[in-house]
Structure 1
Amino acid sequence: MEIGAVAAMRYVKDGIRAARLVMQYTEHTLLVGEKASLFAISMGLPGPMNLSSEESLHKWNKWKENDCQPNFRKNVSPSNSCGPYHPNINSDFSDTSCSSLNHMGTTIRKILPVNIFNHDTISMAVVDKVGHVAVGTSTNGATSKIPGRVGDGPIPGSSAYADDEVGACGATGDGDIMMRFLPCYQVIESMRRGMQPKIAAEDAISRIAIKFPNFIGAVFAVSKNGLHAGACHGWTFQYSVRVPSMEDVEVFTVTPQTASPHVP
């Protein structure tokens, strides 16, 4: 139950090491923004440094030339430019009722494509020789995100969760949706109740897909004994595994599943 996380951290390259410093040297769980950067540098990480590359600047300039499209704005005007943005004139913020919300049905959400060209999440779980389990997730976040956005990467139970008594889980995909369901916490608790990793992973993904049938995401699950599996929705997902007896990693491919929940 030890944990550390950083979010919206700039000017420091090694986010996962910064998160570990939070875990090792503070009583906090999550540090964010400029102060997270200052903390990481004060604890010995290199910085401040410019993290932009020629490739990232080229992508940003192309996005600006395309009127900042696509982006993650909704219910704003203008909808097809770089702003400044204002709430739509038709938005009625005085209406506090929930009558317009579809609580029981599915939600069709406009999402940006998630693929190898704009996706960089790395999640890794380790079981050591005495049985301790650890997991960490690191990401640059969603391409074209609104400044200040925090995704599921640093959210406990969403992109990663581990328990020595059970195992570990890592996740990737549409973090703004996935964090609403804490899929990795769900996986670990399902495994705690006796589900095998494959069924636990599929169940967690199905819970999301039922509400958001067009979401894109995946999880992997590994038990404390090394049994592992993955599940995904909206794309084909790959994860790799290595044990001491192997000379190299083995890559496993997981195909998308339908949104049918498993009942324990």
Structure 2
Amino acid sequence: MANLWSSLLHLLPLATPLSLSTTTAITHPSPGFPMVINTWGGPFTVATDAAYESLNASAFLSPLGDNNSSRLAPKTAALDAVQLGCATCEAAQCDGSVGFGGSPDEQCETTLDALLMDGATLNTGAVAALRRVRDAVGVARAVLDHTSHSLLAGDQATAFAVQNGFVEEEIGTVDSARSCREWRDGGRCQPNYRLDVTPDPKTACGPYAPTEQAKTSSLVEDNNKKKRYQVGHDTISMIALDGAGGMAAGTSTNGASHKVPGRVGDGPIAGSGSYADGEVGGCGATGDGDVMMRFLPCYQAVESMRRGLTPGEAAADAVRRMTRRYPDLAAGLVVVNTKGEHAGAAAGWTFTYAFRGGGMGATRVVTVPPINGAEDHGVEI
């Protein structure tokens, strides 16, 4: 009987991707190794360059300080490169949406989310709603290296960071404080993420309380009511491949502007913000994290490549799975396989991603129009 079931299972088709017969994202050839690829061009390319150049360094001096050199272990090299790339973006405050001093919440505080994932072991380390520590991706690395946990959050994550030598300090800035004051005092807290509360969140600030209607309403979600807005909200998600079997992925963000305090997006969620499996490939994502984390799009894309889809097919399929349920979603995915072949797919906005590999002297940026708009023709610039 067991043999019969085994034979039948081999005859069953694998789950098919959604709408694969329609437009898919373009899969670009590998530039060679080592390789780094990440969400967004523009100011985010400083991260691409930093990570690539660290991977491209052939050796390092031994801790003993002698003349002996040794090759970085592949998984360590890739993981270190992703950490360095994301940390570079944090320090540069890429587009105001990564690192300190950006995206203040309702109470004018900036909090940080970050994730690192080792593609060799699938081990992850992440922090969410991290307070008063600037090096979020560094704390995520400490979670990965020095605990058997995957995710720490809030004040407890801050305490862990301090125990591990990180500095606790103010991570807001004059600009973030001014931005929050303008939103609260001049804009009457418009727009915001509150629903079914009183006073009316469309005209007033809190403190808020649930309305009587909300207390007695159905638990069935109304997608139209749950439409969200985006306020300059971006994320860096990066994948590094060293060509010798090492692969890693990571994400860093300060989240959505004016979020409800305590909100955590998809950035620190493995399989949503980013994902890496050294046997298959990796993925990085950005967009409306509150929706995207429900689909684990990066895990979906990597698993689709495991089943034989190209990076372009996998990326487009993962985006369509989300837009089928949330047509107004803003999302962007960058996907790469173990060969270094890469693609992006987007919905709701024009997405860009950056990559550098092989002997490339500079980072290149690929522009990806939304697949739910005009036909997707990835443009390399």
TM-score of the aligned structures, taking structure 2 as reference length: 0.63
Residue aligning to 2:157: 36
Aligned residues of 1:169 and 1:221 also touching (Cα < 8 A): yes
Which of 27, 45, 52 aligns to 2:148? It is 27
Residue aligning to 1:59: 179
Residue aligning to 2:196: 75
Which of 175, 181, 190 aligns to 2:295? It is 181
C-alpha separation in 2, matches of 1:36 and 1:113: 27
AA of the residue aligned to 1:194: G
Q: What is the DSSP-based 3-state SS (H/G/I as helix, E as strand, rest coil) of the residue aligned with 2:333?
A: strand
C-alpha separation in 1, matches of 2:323 and 2:150: 29
CA shift for structure 1 position 241: 0.6
Residue aligning to 2:370: 256
CA shift for structure 1 position 207: 0.6
CA shift for structure 1 position 101: 4.7
Alignment of 1:96-175 (within 5 A): 100-101=220-221, 109-114=226-231, 118-175=232-289
AA of the residue aligned to 1:220: V
Identity %, equivalent residues: 47
Q: Kindly report structure 1 stretches of 4+ aligned residues shifted beyond 2 Å.
A: 106-110
Aligned residues of 2:348 and 2:372 also touching (Cα < 8 A): no
C-alpha separation in 1, matches of 2:234 and 2:131: 17
Q: What is the DSSP-based 3-state SS (H/G/I as helix, E as strand, rest coil) of the residue aligned with 2:213?
A: coil
Aligned residues of 2:240 and 2:248 also touching (Cα < 8 A): yes
Residue aligning to 1:202: 316
* Larger mean Cα displacement after TM superposition, 18-27 or 36-45: 36-45
Higher-Rg structure is 2
Residue aligning to 1:262: none
Q: What is the DSSP-based 3-state SS (H/G/I as helix, E as strand, rest coil) of the residue aligned with 2:124?
A: coil
C-alpha separation in 2, matches of 1:5 and 1:20: 7
Aligned residues of 1:233 and 1:256 also touching (Cα < 8 A): yes
Cα gap change, 1:242/1:129 in structure 2, threshold over 3 Å: closer, same or farther?
A: same
Unaligned 5+ segments in structure 2 are 1-121, 374-381
Aligned residues of 2:234 and 2:286 also touching (Cα < 8 A): no
Q: Is the counterpart of residue 243 in structure 1 residue 357 in structure 2?
A: yes
Aligned residues of 1:107 and 1:213 also touching (Cα < 8 A): no
Higher relative contact order (CA 8 A, sep 6+): 2
Unaligned 5+ segments in structure 1 are 260-264
Aligned residues of 2:239 and 2:248 also touching (Cα < 8 A): yes
Aligned residues of 1:108 and 1:213 also touching (Cα < 8 A): no
C-alpha separation in 2, matches of 1:38 and 1:108: 38
Matched pairs, number = 249
Cα gap change, 1:181/1:107 in structure 2, threshold over 3 Å: closer, same or farther?
A: farther
Aligned residues of 1:7 and 1:33 also touching (Cα < 8 A): yes
Say what the alpha-carbon RMSD is for the aligned residues: 1.6
Cα gap change, 1:107/1:83 in structure 2, threshold over 3 Å: closer, same or farther?
A: closer
Residue aligning to 1:224: 338
Aligned residues of 1:169 and 1:188 also touching (Cα < 8 A): yes
Aligned residues of 2:127 and 2:152 also touching (Cα < 8 A): yes
Question: Counting helix residues as a fraction of each chain, which structure ranks higher?
Answer: 2
